[in-house]
């Protein structure tokens, strides 16, 4: 990786507070582009234009992501005086349609919670922790990284809200349901004290539970609950939190705050989920739809 792209990544971390996962994604995209065209701060526009052909076999969403990373870099390079031109216009600009998020039904969430509650009744620390994790994923709409990295000090004693550090180092307050509070209190009673860790959900090495392990725990629980594990993930539970709140009449701006979205356009995807559900309901339940099926 060239010094210019490394400087760009340093800027994202220092000035924009980009998260580690975001930085890793930018690094992959920029490094991959430099393997094809060389130093991005010096590559001529004609060479940049050839990236469209190199990326032709990729999905439109992937091309759009890579092009976005390069556009931001080129803007930075011009500001720094490393380039006299901005070759962003030579990059492909595929039209992408954002896919609707996977959402669990109320019944599927209930089945998952019932199984987690049943297993937590054994008193085993791993099962008690499992219930606390799920209650907070579905009850507060946390991202996987936000949840596993919660410090022990974040657990409120009396306040109904919990402080979460979101993307870009932005803190926000999210509600903690009575169910989640009870599950957390049960977890704190059996939470291991050794090795010492400042995290609410520590790992054996004293750090915090990994995102990968959280994914594994959820999928294993889904199998035991009789659900398709391919349709279960921390982010799917976050989507369920948002969609079910919206179905219940939640305001879109409130939902934006709860989810920690910087742009309300990101939150609006859930209105499309609800619209899709209503259309499906009409097409499958309306008397005319049933009559056409019988014909």
- Judge whether 36 and 28 are in contact, CB under 8 Å: no
The phi, psi pair for 95, rounded to 5°, reads: -85, 120
List all residues 6 or more positions away from 287 whose beta carbon is below 8 Å from its beta carbon: none
Residue 293 within a domain: no
Alpha helices in 81-177 (DSSP H): 106-120, 125-140, 144-148
Per-residue confidence (pLDDT) for residue 272, from 0 to 100: 63
Clarify whether residues 221 and 117 are in a common domain: yes
Domain ends where: 233, 248, 269? 233
pTM above 0.85, yes or no: no
In a domain, 282, yes or no: no
| Torsion sign, CA atoms 54, 60, 65, 67 | positive
How do residues 132-167 score in pLDDT, each as one tens digit? 999 999 988 888 989 999 998 888 777 678 888 877
| Same domain membership, residue 158 and residue 49 | no
Burial of 103 (0-12, 13-18, 19+ CB in 10 A): buried
pLDDT of 36 reads 93
Are 153 and 229 in the same domain? Answer: yes
All residue ranges of the chain with pLDDT < 50 are none
Of 202, 233, 264, the residue that ends a domain is 233
Domains contained in the chain, number: 2
Kindly state whether residues 74 and 14 are assigned to the same domain. Answer: yes
pLDDT for 161 equals: 81
Angle at 280 between CA 271 and CA 292, to 5 degrees: 155
The pLDDT value recorded for residue 283 is: 66
**In whole angstroms, how far apart are CA 149 and each of 133, 143, 184?**
12, 10, 15
Please tell me the distance from the alpha carbon of residue 154 to that of residue 152, in angstroms, as a whole number: 5
Domain presence at residue 167: yes
76 in a domain, yes or no?
yes
Domain-embedded: residue 183 = yes
Catalytic positions: 143, 167, 235, 238, 261, 270
Q: Which two tokens stand for residue 231?
A: 């349709």
Specify whether the CB–CB gap between 138 and 109 falls below 8 A: yes
Domain of 116, CATH number, reads 1.10.443.10
215 and 176 fall within a common domain: yes
Is 278 part of a structural domain of the chain?
no
**CATH code, domain with 34:** 1.10.150.130
Range of the domain at 194: 106-233
């Amino acid at each position: 990786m060239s010094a210019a792209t490394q400087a760009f990544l340093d800027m994202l971390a220092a000035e924009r507070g980009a998260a580690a996962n975001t930085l890793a994604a930018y690094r992959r995209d920029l490094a991959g582009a430099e393997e094809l065209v060389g130093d991005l701060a010096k590559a001529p526009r004609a060479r940049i234009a050839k990236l469209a052909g190199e990326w032709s076999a990729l999905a439109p969403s992937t091309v759009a992501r890579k092009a976005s990373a390069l556009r931001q870099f080129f803007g930075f390079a011009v500001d720094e005086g490393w380039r006299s031109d901005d070759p962003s216009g030579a990059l492909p600009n595929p039209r992408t349609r954002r896919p609707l998020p996977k959402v669990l039904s109320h019944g599927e969430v209930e089945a998952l919670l019932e199984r987690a509650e049943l297993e937590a009744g054994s008193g085993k620390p791993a099962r008690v922790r499992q219930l606390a994790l799920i209650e907070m994923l579905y009850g507060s709409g946390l991202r996987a990284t936000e949840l596993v990295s919660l410090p022990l000090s974040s657990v409120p004693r009396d306040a109904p809200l919990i402080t979460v550090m979101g993307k870009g180092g932005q803190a926000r307050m999210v509600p903690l349901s009575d169910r989640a509070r009870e599950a957390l209190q049960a977890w704190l009673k059996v939470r291991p004290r050794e090795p010492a860790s400042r995290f609410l959900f520590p790992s054996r090495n004293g750090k915090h539970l990994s995102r990968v392990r959280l994914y594994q725990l959820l999928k294993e629980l889904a199998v035991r609950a009789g659900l398709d594990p391919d349709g279960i993930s921390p982010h799917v539970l976050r989507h369920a939190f948002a969609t079910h709140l919206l179905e219940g009449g939640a305001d879109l701006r409130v939902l934006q705050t709860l989810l920690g979205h910087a742009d309300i356009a990101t939150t609006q995807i859930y209105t499309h989920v609800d619209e899709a559900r209503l259309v499906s309901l009409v097409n499958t339940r309306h008397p005319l739809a049933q009559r056409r099926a019988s014909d």
